[in-house]
Amino acid sequence: MKTKNLFIISPHHYCHSTATIIEGLNKLDGIKVFSNADYNYCKHPIQTFKTQVQVAKMADYVMLCHSALELKYKEVIGPLVGELQGNIDIFLDGSDFAAYERNPSDYKLYIKRELNASQNHHSDNVESLIFAAEDRHFTRTNASHRNIWQSKTDALVCIMSACEKRPWRFDIMNSLKDAFAHDESVFVGEYRKGHSSPLVDTGGRHHSGYFQKLLNTKISVDSYGCAEARQTGRFWESLANGCMVLYQPIEPYIWRNSYIDGEDFVVYNDLDELVGKAKYYMSHSEEARKIASRGFTKLRRHHTTEARAKEFLFLLGKYL
């Protein structure tokens, strides 16, 4: 079978959506990824503008990432986007926001990270493609969930930052701090200890101590990101390290092979429910373990970067 070539117009920084696709495609036969940037696991970056244009125009597919359109790249990446305007087949909309970054009708395939079934105007070429667990998220790569769980010593963590773009996180973190102020098995706050990843430049998003903290803990509390985005790295990082995840509702956003409340993660709808469910599962460790195990199994089966890359190739076959 002839190898297909994909050229990705990528930002010059880490982008979770872009990294998910490229890392996964690197593991598959029959496709080779080129890019204008050596970020996000790209093994075949093209450095000069002239060669970038030549390779892109010879490629079977060209994909533009939304983050490559940031204003800071206007002079750096803008000319490449302009030169390839008639050659771009796919738009990867990895924005935090539910609204479309571009007009889907301008592309053969429009991939949307935050696809809200109740807000987004339906277009026949729009497909959901969510984050996945990258290889670096798995602190114990080949361990079974049972072995991971048996090594956990802490009860609960809520490791996240709050700001004016995510103000609800202040209340979530303060509620947990108040409820578990005297419990040394609970940690709430930011945690940036340890070394960075040798696999990819994440721009300061990877800290080995943070992943070790997740690995040591049974329950991980997470919440929406900016613009109430359902996709957070922490959701997948927590599952990859064997945690039972306490999270806000995913619906009405579209996820393939989505997580189910009470089966492979646990939903909280308000602060009282968060604290109540945290206390319940901290005192019912076996129930928490079973939910965490099912979440881990679903992650391994449906939400690795390789699985996501296979979804991506299916969409290429469907639309291109």
Q: What is the spatial distance between Cα 89 and Cα 64, in angstroms, rounded to a whole number?
A: 8
CA distances for 300 relative to 35, 90, 248, 294, angstroms: 28, 27, 22, 10
pLDDT band at residue 118 under the 50/70/90 scheme? confident
Provide the pLDDT for residue 319.
97
Provide the pLDDT for residue 199.
86
Quick: pLDDT tens for 251-301: 999 999 999 999 999 999 999 999 999 999 999 999 999 999 999 999 999
Average pLDDT, integer, range 216-239: 97
CA distances for 106 relative to 15, 65, 109, 172, angstroms: 23, 14, 9, 40
Residue 122 has pLDDT above 80, yes or no: no
Contact of 33 with 61, CB cutoff 8 Å: no
pLDDT band at residue 307 under the 50/70/90 scheme? very high
Q: What is the spatial distance between Cα 13 and Cα 70, in angstroms, rounded to a whole number?
A: 11
Quick: pLDDT tens for 70-91: 999 999 999 999 999 999 999 9
Average pLDDT, integer, range 121-147: 94
Quick: pLDDT tens for 153-174: 999 999 999 999 999 999 999 9
Residue 198 has pLDDT above 90, yes or no: no
Kind and range of the H or E element at 245? strand 244-247
Measuring CA to CA, which residue among 158, 147, 132, 160 is closest to residue 293? 147
Provide the pLDDT for residue 249.
98
Residue with tokens 């010059």: 12
